[in-house]
Amino acid sequence: MLSLARWATGLTLLVVSVVVACRVLGTDAVTPVTQLLAPLPWLLVPAGAALAAAAALRWRAGALWAVVVLAVTAWFARPFGAGETAPAPPGPVVAHVSVLTSNVEFGQAAPRLIDEVRRETAHGQKPGIVFVEECSLRCSALLERLPRTAYPYRNVVRQDGSKGSAILSVYPLRNTAGIPSTMAMPGAVATIGGRAVRLQLAHPLPPISGQVAAWRTELGRIQAYAAASARDGTPGIVAGDFNATRDHAAFRHLLSAGGLRDSALYGGAAHTPSWPHAAPRPLGVQIDHVLVSREFQVREARFIDLSGTDHRALRVRLDLHG
């Protein structure tokens, strides 16, 4: 019985060690490591249980192993950059920009999203740009309830199920081809405060077993887009359901390549999970993001509960500098 308990403790530590080692090495590896990287902070629970078990078994090597694993996991459990203040961009503020992104889960939460937009508008906090993922054909039709006078500029990809998407804007838009993907990722160039600003909706495939390679490919396309935008010096916003957390190397590469900042990190919502909605906080992972170029300063980030979807919406207030 004693040897069996030691074996189980060692196996637990081995699994956690492999995942944390991949985080250290900057690789998303393969299933199931890719999936386990998403809730990496919660690996503190099995690692802590293993430490307690090793202590009870008087297994010194196991206890030391557990302490090392706990320390490394705890280091990465804190979102990189959390608590830091990004330097203010040069130049004066030319526009205050409010962004709302929401995965409405096959369009089911579209009525609630519309209600939220109306509520915020009534309080003088109308979102200037709205990104909608999983906007089904019914969702596309429901968006017409938001009058064209409120959102005169739109790029709506009308497809059913999870494949449809939409960008609504109060700012003039020039629609672009977007990024090739299984679920639509439309793009546009907005004119905000006299500046051209690239807008890109993100919704790559989730990294479930059997499609990790496709997930990596689609995130890579977003990374390539972000890198190209950074090279031409145009301000940009990339928002949506990335199906990736900051503990995924592919997501960190995207941030680095585009010189992008994760709004939740600098807007006071670094530890707020966005999926699954049903999981009580702080359980869950943050896979919905608004990423901005360095011409923007983040003023506030806030996750919003909407019924009918398994995602929390994300509302961000930004200052665009000239």
Asked if pLDDT for residue 85 goes beyond 60, the answer is yes
**β pairing state of 236-241 and 195-202:** parallel
Q: What is the pLDDT of residue 280?
A: 79
Whether the pLDDT of residue 110 is over 80: the answer is yes
Cα 219 to Cα 200: distance, rounded to the nearest angstrom: 13
- Kindly indicate the confidence band of residue 77, based on its pLDDT and cuts at 50, 70 and 90: confident
pLDDT computed for residue 283 by the predictor: 85
Residue with the two structure tokens 């409405």: 104
pTM, two decimals, is: 0.94
Residue type for position 116: E
CA-to-CA distance for 44 and 282, rounded, in angstroms?
A: 14
- The mean per-residue pLDDT over the stretch 275-279 comes to 90
Find out whether 88 and 321 touch, Cβ atoms under 8 Å. Answer: yes
CA 289 to chain centre: 3
What average pLDDT does the segment 265-276 reach? 92
Name the amino acid, one letter, at 233.
Answer: G
Give the helix/strand (H/E) hosting 290: strand 288-292
Rounded mean pLDDT of 50-76? 94
Whether the per-residue pLDDT at 282 is higher than 90: the answer is no
Q: Mean pLDDT over residues 239-260, rounded?
A: 97
What is the pLDDT confidence band of residue 81, given thresholds at 50, 70 and 90?
Answer: low
